Amino acid sequence: MAVHEVERHAMTRALELAARGPRGANPQVGAVILSPAGEILAEGWHHGAGTPHAEIDALSKLQGDAARGATAVVTLEPCNHTGRTGPCSLALIDAGISRVIYALDDPGVVSGGGAERLRSAGVEVEAGEQADGARALISDWLTAQRLGRPHITVKWAQSLDGRAAAADGSSQWITGSAARADVHRRRAAADAIIVGTGTVLADDPALTARDGDTLYEHQPIPVVIGSRETPTDAAVRRHPHEALFYAAGDLQSVIADLHERGIQSAFIEGGPTLASSFIAAGLADRVLAYVAPVLLGGGRLALTEIGVPTISAARRLAVEEWVPLGADMLAIATFEDNESDHNEGVR
């Protein structure tokens, strides 16, 4: 059965509602309940981990049998498992919903399968309505589900001869203002920004995302990795978000903890040592390499040891785009060999 125009409008509204929810361990999801006549009976969205899912949030605003025979329009397939909350597919069945329209399939092995459960109970189900819009809204969450960890971007700035700093360690600024502005825009799109204690002690970065002197509305959570103590007056301690500190050691454990905290995307800006460690550990999905038309010479390379003993073991990337930024050039490339299929949903 085709999706009606009023249901399309309801999905547009559901996507707007979903965007109100916080980014985190759970996806942003919105729901609209329509009467058999096409009138909106209730709306809801997911307010964060541990709170009712969007469908339950909407149903909770109805009394008695008000949902019987109604249509539920949801941006993600109703879940089919009991986690911190019960399965939404069962709640919709119990409420008497007769038709469900959703945008995207739930990718979780555990949480997926809600559509099949609904159909088995006699509920009419339509999938794929405005799937592109729903996918764009929760693309980072979907990627984190596929990888089983946050999507990780490693960024560095380098001279044309591959140096990250001059012989005396100075590096501000290798690239020009257009490149630096681009970095801040990309920081603002990330959930976390990660550096090592060496960078904190050498540069005292604020780790904020700025448009000139103005902070972007969204700020990445600052993360510092290393065994050395961060000074009490360090700029990172004045960040809008409380910084997370991890001792030097197993990067896998750090990333697992960030994933548990709901971090979907991380931006590595910690200098050659940290950048190389993430790449060597197979924890880099994308590279942003800002290349300036200057020569520095010396030994301060943009990357150090990444576990490549011979040319046959070279880490090869696919360049997605070359972006001119004033006199500089940005290479955006991906490590396609790092992706895995960890699809355990967390809704």
Residues tagged active-site: 55
Cross-strand bridge partners of residue 244:
223
Please, are residues 92 and 72 in contact by the beta-carbon 8 Å criterion? yes
Please, are residues 14 and 73 in contact by the beta-carbon 8 Å criterion? yes
User: For residue 193, which amino acid is it?
Assistant: I
pLDDT (tens digit per residue) in 290-330: 999 999 998 889 999 989 899 988 888 999 999 999 999 99
pLDDT (tens digit per residue) in 142-171: 888 888 899 999 999 999 999 998 888 887
Whether the per-residue pLDDT at 288 is higher than 60: the answer is: yes
Distance CA 29, CA 31 (A): 7
Helix (H/G/I), strand (E/B), else coil: 147: helix
Whether the per-residue pLDDT at 124 is higher than 90: the answer is: yes
Selected residue with higher pLDDT from 109 and 297? 297
% of the chain residues with pLDDT over 90: 67
pLDDT of residue 82: 66
Domains and CATH numbers, the chain: 5-137 (3.40.140.10), 144-338 (3.40.430.10)
Please, are residues 138 and 28 in contact by the beta-carbon 8 Å criterion? yes
pTM of the shown model: 0.76
pLDDT (tens digit per residue) in 196-248: 998 898 888 999 999 988 999 889 999 999 989 999 999 999 999 999 999 87
pLDDT of residue 158: 94
Distance CA 95, CA 217 (A): 39
**CA dist 337 to 253, 282, 286, Å?**
21, 9, 11
**CA dist 143 to 139, 246, 280, 341, 342, Å?**
6, 24, 21, 10, 10
